[in-house]
């Protein structure tokens, strides 16, 4: 994935920089004549009208307040609307019409929100260091171990080179079981080069270089849904069409996991963002959705930046993944968060009826996973390598055996998605919320990094699958809170050993604005694990202390009141970074919370109404991106197929 930056030049500031607005609420321009209209239309549409360009054609997404009304179709047609696109599963329409008309349609009582069809771009020793090898049976052609068999992973990206050896099963059948293009280019291969690498990290086999580059779930089925074109660029509408296809076909292909290694600036609140809302629909249907956090964790001078989580990574129900750096070692004692990985909190916002802006300010990412200079499958003749030859890892001269380097949260996301596929193979009854909770509970807290950088910690496949196998398979929506969650009364030892190093699990989960700890999280059933809700739903916020909802969380769970910098032991141990209450009030910018060097701004780049934010085309060169001291060692391929993976 590309690394992107906002270039900010300010003097006399400390090295800790937040790209966040101050204060939490402020008035929005209301030239439309309605103080309440601002909460129903994205700001860039308003700016186009205010700047005198209201007659300019824009491509917009219209979300109705309820069911779609035929009268709304008539209004769109009468307003000059063209090229209308409808969806099978989502109550949204995409249409081209003048900006003035879009603003007028937003004022209708039967319309909930109108936003631009924005650009979406890709964000720019694995099996050992993640703990996957500990849960996989290695016995040649005997695929009796956990390898993702039967699980469908939808890779929504730039396409997949299905001729690459990485996507064969042990019987030489291609595991990319379906491909469709949503870019309009009429092709499903990968001329850009991003999607092939992503798919192989999640589910590539170990045929090349004697299993050195085996993916996390090497026998899972892959759904190739191409939404990024030959330049690595797509649209919101293209992503919506792909997610709509998933909702329709999930049962036919047993799609249990969706990987979104792409993103755009998170401007609209997740409550209004059409992709976030569609992700929520998929999660409510039982599909686990993984989203990349973004690659905006630092500027070109290396200064840390906060508040750059991308959409749809700002969606609470998604599992948002940041990138960690293994420094090329199997042991995890030296691991840290990659310098480029985007930090929270989320800064998408909504406008209320009084014109006041409220920022989501959710704790994200949820977890981190290895994402620095990983070697995986290289699509033939792809743009990334052609423009940056150093990305070729030099593994093989044969096109369908070539491997390449890439860095980014785009690479970390499929690693985590592959772990979820293993968990679902081990226990198909797991809900998306339970998978998210187990992954966070068993994660490794990385010392010296706070919750806005690493979430609950670095993914631990061995621990997550271990717990998944112990979860009861008879849990339903009617299971009472506090009933046993596991099939055993013996609580698993909360630690894992990888590379001769033992680390403790985080033993906590994140809940939107706070975190929760306690063994009840894995020994007793919690209502927040059900389908149709989110983990953060069990938290009560207000003027007083943050507490748990007794109808959704049992008494043995404790919530924290501080965002912490971890000491590397468990969730709740470490140095306070800022009070949880600061995420809910105006106090985040009082000058005493973090430092005096806080840069304010809402991350919006003004221009012709198309929000590109930090979408600067920067090549993912192994010499330019990632941390230079942590390049994986490339193992040459001898040309023979290894089936012992």
Quick: pLDDT tens for 545-599.
788 899 999 999 999 999 999 999 999 999 999 888 888 764 554 444 443 333 3
* pLDDT exceeds 80 at position 382: yes
Determine whether 310 is an active site residue: no
Tens-place pLDDT, residues 402-447: 999 999 999 999 999 999 999 999 999 999 999 999 999 999 999 9
Taking the C-alpha atoms of residue 623 and residue 601, their distance in angstroms, rounded to an integer, is 31
With bands split at pLDDT 50, 70 and 90, how would you rate the model's confidence at 37? confident
- Selected residue with higher pLDDT from 141 and 507: 507
Q: Does the CA dihedral 45-27-364-559 come out positive or negative?
A: negative
- Tell me which of 93, 194, 197, 310 is the catalytic residue: 194
Taking the C-alpha atoms of residue 364 and residue 307, their distance in angstroms, rounded to an integer, is 9
The per-residue pLDDT for 403 is 96
* pLDDT exceeds 80 at position 460: yes
* pLDDT exceeds 60 at position 634: yes
Domains and CATH numbers, the chain: 37-116 (3.30.70.80), 121-472 (3.40.50.200)
Dig out the tokens for 270 from the structure.
């997740």
The per-residue pLDDT for 640 is 74
Q: Which range, of 155-164, 305-314, 633-642, averages the lowest pLDDT?
A: 633-642
Determine whether 638 is an active site residue: no
Vertex 379: Cα angle to 613 and 297 (nearest 5)? 30
The percent of residues above 90 in pLDDT, for the chain, comes to 67
Please compute the mean of the pLDDT values over residues 485-510 and round it to a whole number: 94
* Whole-Å CA distances, 362 to 202, 343, 353, 497: 27, 11, 22, 32
Q: Work out the mean pLDDT of the chain and round it to a whole number.
A: 85
The per-residue pLDDT for 39 is 84
Tens-place pLDDT, residues 12-22: 222 233 333 32
- Tell me which of 147, 157, 189, 637 is the catalytic residue: 157
Determine whether 36 is an active site residue: no
Taking the C-alpha atoms of residue 570 and residue 575, their distance in angstroms, rounded to an integer, is 12
- Tell me which of 407, 410, 506, 630 is the catalytic residue: 410
- Selected residue with higher pLDDT from 113 and 210: 113
Q: Which of 346, 434, 240 is nearest to 20 (CA)?
A: 346
Helix (H) or strand (E) holding 353: none
Taking the C-alpha atoms of residue 544 and residue 20, their distance in angstroms, rounded to an integer, is 25
For residue 490, how many other CB atoms are within 10 A of its CB?
A: 8
* pLDDT exceeds 60 at position 244: yes
The percent of residues above 70 in pLDDT, for the chain, comes to 84
Tens-place pLDDT, residues 291-340: 999 998 887 778 888 899 999 999 999 999 999 998 877 888 889 999 99
């Amino acid at each position: 994935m590309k690394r992107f930056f906002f270039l900010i030049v300010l003097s006399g500031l400390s090295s800790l920089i937040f790209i966040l607005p101050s204060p939490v609420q402020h008035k929005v321009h209301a030239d439309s004549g309605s103080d309440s209209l601002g909460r129903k239309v994205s700001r860039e549409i308003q700016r186009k009208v205010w700047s005198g360009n209201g007659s300019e054609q824009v491509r917009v997404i219209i979300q109705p307040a309820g069911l779609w009304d035929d009268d709304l179709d008539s209004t769109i047609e009468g307003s000059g609307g063209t090229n209308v696109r409808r969806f099978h599963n989502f109550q949204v329409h995409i249409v081209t019409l003048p900006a003035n008309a879009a603003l007028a349609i937003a004022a209708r009582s039967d319309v909930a929100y109108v936003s631009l069809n924005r650009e979406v771009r890709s964000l720019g020793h694995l099996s050992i260091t993640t703990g996957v090898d500990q849960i996989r049976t290695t016995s040649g052609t005997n695929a009796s171990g956990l390898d993702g068999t039967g699980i469908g992973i939808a890779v929504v990206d730039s396409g997949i080179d299905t001729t690459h050896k990485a996507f064969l099963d042990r019987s030489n059948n291609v595991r990319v079981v379906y491909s469709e293009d949503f870019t309009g280019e009429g092709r499903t291969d990968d001329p850009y080069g991003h999607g092939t690498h992503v798919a192989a990290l999640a589910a590539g086999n170990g045929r090349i270089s004697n299993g050195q580059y085996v993916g996390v779930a090497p026998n899972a089925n892959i759904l190739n849904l191409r939404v990024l074109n030959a330049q690595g660029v797509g649209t919101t509408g293209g992503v919506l069409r792909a997610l709509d296809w998933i909702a329709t076909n999930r049962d036919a292909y047993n799609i249990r996991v969706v990987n979104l290694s792409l993103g755009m600036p998170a401007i609209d609140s997740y409550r209004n963002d059409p992709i976030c809302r569609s992700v929520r629909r998929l999660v409510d249907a039982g599909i686990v959705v993984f989203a990349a956090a973004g690659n905006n964790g630092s500027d070109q001078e290396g200064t840390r930046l906060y508040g750059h989580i991308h959409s749809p990574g700002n969606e609470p129900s998604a599992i948002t993944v940041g990138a960690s750096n293994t420094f090329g070692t199997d042991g995890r004692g030296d691991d840290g968060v990659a310098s480029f990985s985007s930090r929270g909190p989320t800064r998408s916002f909504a406008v209320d009826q009084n014109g006041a802006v409220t920022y989501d300010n959710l704790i994200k990412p949820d977890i981190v996973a290895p994402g620095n200079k990983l070697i995986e499958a290289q699509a033939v003749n792809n743009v990334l390598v052609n423009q940056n030859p150093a990305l070729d890892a030099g593994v093989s001269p044969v096109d369908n055996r070539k491997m390449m380097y890439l860095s980014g949260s785009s690479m970390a996301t499929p690693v985590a998605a592959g772990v979820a596929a293993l968990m679902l193979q081990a226990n198909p009854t797991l809900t998306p919320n339970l998978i998210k909770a187990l992954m966070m509970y068993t994660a490794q807290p990385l010392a010296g990094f706070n919750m806005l950088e690493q979430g609950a910690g670095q993914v631990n496949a061995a621990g997550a699958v271990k717990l998944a196998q112990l979860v009861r398979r008879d849990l339903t929506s009617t299971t009472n809170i506090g009933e046993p969650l596991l099939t055993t009364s013996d609580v698993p030892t909360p630690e894992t050993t990888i590379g001769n190093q033992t680390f403790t699990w985080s033993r906590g989960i994140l809940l939107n604005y706070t975190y929760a700890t306690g063994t009840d999280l894995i020994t007793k059933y919690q209502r927040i694990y059900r389908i149709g809700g989110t983990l953060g739903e069990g938290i009560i916020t207000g003027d007083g202390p943050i507490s748990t909802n007794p109808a959704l969380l049992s008494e043995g769970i404790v919530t924290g009141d501080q965002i912490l910098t971890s000491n590397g032991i468990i969730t709740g141990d470490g140095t306070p970074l800022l009070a949880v209450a600061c995420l809910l009030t105006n106090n985040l910018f009082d000058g005493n919370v973090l430092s005096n060097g806080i840069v304010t701004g809402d991350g919006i780049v003004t221009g012709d109404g198309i929000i590109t934010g930090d979408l600067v085309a920067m090549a993912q060169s192994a010499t330019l991106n990632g941390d230079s001291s942590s390049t994986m060692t490339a193992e040459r391929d001898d040309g023979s197929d290894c089936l012992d993976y």
